[in-house]
Amino acid sequence: MTPGPGIQHDVRMSGFVERKSFAEVWKIIQDRIRPGEAESTSLRDACDRVLAEDVVSPVAVPCFDRSAMDGYAVLAEETSGASDYNPLEFQVIGEAYPGRAFEGRAGPGQAVKVMTGAAIPDGANAVMMAEYAEAEASRVRFRRQVTPGKNIMRAGEDVARGDVVLARGRRLRPQDIGVLASVHRPAVLAYRSPTVAVLITGNELVEPGQAADGTCIVDSNSYVIGGLVRRYGGIPMHREILPDRAETIRAAIRECREDLVVVSGGSSVGEEDYAPGIVRELGELVVHGVAIKPGSPFGLGFIDGRAVFLLPGSPVAAMVTADAFVGSAIRRKLGLDVGFAYPRLRCRLLQKVVSAIGRTEFVRVHLHEDFTVEKLRVSGSSILTSTTRADGFLVIDDAIEGYPEGSMVDVYRYGS
């Protein structure tokens, strides 16, 4: 694309030697960032963690035939012909409760009273519901016939011994933890949550609440990046804000021992943009400049095998690149593929949205109750409140010029 006065974005980016596409950066992250170690994790801490093993059940669940109803356990064949007009009488020889089995055996003409969840006694193969039985002292009359297996939950009906109940790569849900408990696993192997160093650079930045002279602004990026790191399953490790000095930034990057390093600010090609040169000097700068909007002054390098992400300082650009690239790197460390942490919805666009071919655009949208969406009006990459007013975003591929009004589009939804 030839830079020209009408295409400010590309004019600004003329300083980048080679802009990668969004898909190329995702492919680099997918290929070069490998899953981290696994660690034993107790069930009470396992929710939302990612499973690092296939869990094979050593047991059947339930491990015995259970009654699915309150009623009477009998040999089904003996109830043949029972009806309202021809009730058949049995002797009640005992009771079975959950956790308290009847130890004897039901013989001919005999039944055992059972509660839901109780073990089916030997000699019985069906449960007559209490509603079709009339009990009187130790006798009971059945007004229905039952077939073998009726009202019985068979051993192994939930889980068979040897079943893979949950597979590696599963982000564990509450019900998954229940299933892990039910197959007698007090702990599982889960991927260790990756640590992420969050380095914020900028002479103009202060902490919230800190007295500031008239030309300082508050660092918001560390809060947004920290929250996103947690959302994707990582652990953010914050530092003091760094001044725009090459030697300070270099030292801070070199000292990082976290699994991933994020540097916010100074990622472009301006005078005080030191980070790209430092990564090139200490390791390999694989990406510098990406054909996305917002977020084009993004860089990605590797130092001693550790991925270093260079995020633009502009708040919306920092958020978009943290979401798309740092988030995907955390997912890779957790054994997952690159992707977003947000639910994907199919929505109808209320107005056309235009985009430039050759650039992937992230468009913040309002989402209505009826699954229609419209583009937010204010969307400058410095307007952080545009990300709080938005309900989500859509991604316009670099191969298309946008979408006409009425198109069905995929929307990633913030919040739940």
Per CB under 8 A, contacts with its own copies among 239-268 are: 244
* Residues between 206 and 235 that touch its own copies (CB under 8 A): 207-209, 214-228, 230-231
Residue 357: CB atoms within 10 A of its CB come to 12
Please state the closest distance from residue 217 (CB atom) to its own copies, in A: 6
* Residues between 114 and 143 that touch its own copies (CB under 8 A): 115-119, 129, 131
Those residues with Cβ within 8 angstroms of residue 223's Cβ, 6 or more apart along the chain or in another chain = none
Identify the residue among 20, 49, 150, 185 touching its own copies (CB under 8 A). Answer: 185
Give CA–CA dist 296/279, Å, rounded: 18
Q: Taking a C-beta distance cutoff of 8 angstroms, is the pair 159, 183 a contact?
A: yes
Mask for 349-388, x = binds its own copies (CB under 8 A): ----------------------x--------x-xxxx-xx
Give CA–CA dist 204/207, Å, rounded: 10
Residue 404: CB atoms within 10 A of its CB come to 11
Token pair listed for 381: 């990459």
* Phi, psi of 367, deg, nearest 5: -115, 125
Q: Is 200 in the site for its own copies (CB under 8 A)?
A: no
Mask for 144-183, x = binds its own copies (CB under 8 A): x--------x---xxx-----xx----x-xxxxxxxxxxx
* Phi, psi of 193, deg, nearest 5: -65, 120
Please state the closest distance from residue 91 (CB atom) to its own copies, in A: 20
Applying CB under 8 A, the span of 10-18, 22-30, 75-83, 395-403 interacting with its own copies comes to: 10-18
Of residues 254 and 385, the one with the C-beta less far from its own copies: 385
Of residues 31 and 181, the one with the C-beta less far from its own copies: 181
Identify the residue among 29, 33, 69, 285 touching its own copies (CB under 8 A). Answer: 69
Q: Is 2 in the site for its own copies (CB under 8 A)?
A: no
Of residues 28 and 260, the one with the C-beta less far from its own copies: 260
Of residues 215 and 305, the one with the C-beta less far from its own copies: 215
Please provide the DSSP assignment of 197-242 as one string.
EEEEB-TTEE-TTS---TT-EE--HHHHHHHHHHHHT-EEEE-PPB
Give the count of residues interacting with its own copies (CB under 8 A): 100
Nearest to residue 123, comparing CAs of 86, 94, 97? 94
Of residues 98 and 109, the one with the C-beta less far from its own copies: 98
Of residues 314 and 360, the one with the C-beta less far from its own copies: 314
Burial letters 88-103, b for 16+ CB under 10 A, else e: bebebbbebeeeebbe
Please state the closest distance from residue 165 (CB atom) to its own copies, in A: 7
Of residues 84 and 304, the one with the C-beta less far from its own copies: 84
Of residues 350 and 383, the one with the C-beta less far from its own copies: 383
Q: Cα torsion at 223, 226, 228, 229 (round to 10°)? A: 170
List C-alpha distances in Å: 154 to 117, 160, 182, 269, 273. 11, 10, 15, 68, 67
* Residues between 97 and 116 that touch its own copies (CB under 8 A): 97-101, 115-116
Identify the residue among 194, 289, 315, 335 touching its own copies (CB under 8 A). Answer: 315
Identify the residue among 39, 53, 204, 374 touching its own copies (CB under 8 A). Answer: 204
Q: Across-strand partners of 238?
A: 198
